Amino acid sequence: MKCDLCDKEAVVHLTQVVNGEMKEVHLCEEHAVAQGIDINSPISITDILMGLSGPQKNIAHELSLACPRCGMAREEFRKTGRLGCPDCYKTFMAELTMAIKAMHHSGQHLGKIPSREGAQTRVKSKVARLQKELEAAIAREDFEKAAKLRDQIKKCREENVKDDEGGKS
C-alpha cells in the first residue's frame, strides 16, 4: 500500500477519528516521522484517537455532559483518554463505540464471563460467538455449516426467552 502523501510504501497504518468519522491513514517512514509518529515505539491507539481527533464540532454541544455516577466531564475524559468509572462507558457511549471499534476492530466481547453474571449474559455471549462463526461460514461459502449455526442460534434464543419467563414467575 502506498503512502497517503507520496509514492513510497506505507509502513504505518492508523485509524483516526476526525470529526466523528473513522479514517484510515497510511504513511511511509519519512512522513510518519514528519507527523511526529515514532514508528519504533508501539503507539497508544487511545492517544492517537484522543489527541489527533481535533475539534469535533458535531458533538460540541455535548461537551458539558458529565458522568452521573463519578462526575467525570467529557472534556476531562478526552484530555486523558481514561474513564472515571465503569458507568462512564454508558455516559460516553457515542464516541466510545467508535473509538473502541477502531482500536479492537470489534464491538463485542467473546471472552471470559464472571461466574456471577446471570445465565442471560452467558446466552447472549454464546449467540454473539455463534454469529461470528456464522459470518465466517458464509464468507467461505460453507452453507451447510452456516445452516447448522443458524439453527443453533435460533435454539439458543428460544431457550433464553423461556428462561426469562421462568425467571419472572
User: What is the contact surface with another protein in residues (CB under 8 A)?
Assistant: 11, 13, 38-42, 44-46, 69-70, 72, 80-87, 89, 96, 99-100, 103-117, 120-121, 124-125, 129
The nearer residue to another protein, 19 or 44, going by C-beta atoms, is 44
Sole residue written with cell 500500500: 1
Size of the site for Zn ion (CB under 5 A): 14
Question: Which residues 11-40 are close enough to bind Zn ion by CB under 5 A?
Answer: 28, 31
Cell numbers linked to 48: 492517537
Question: Which residues 115-154 are close enough to bind Zn ion by CB under 5 A?
Answer: none
CB of 22 to Zn ion, least distance (A): 21
Most distant CA pair in the chain: distance in Å?
Answer: 67
d(CA 114, CA 122): 9
The amino acid at residue 149 is L
87 binds Zn ion (CB under 5 A): yes
Query: Residue 79 burial by CB count (10 A; 0-12/13-18/19+): exposed, middle or buried?
Result: exposed
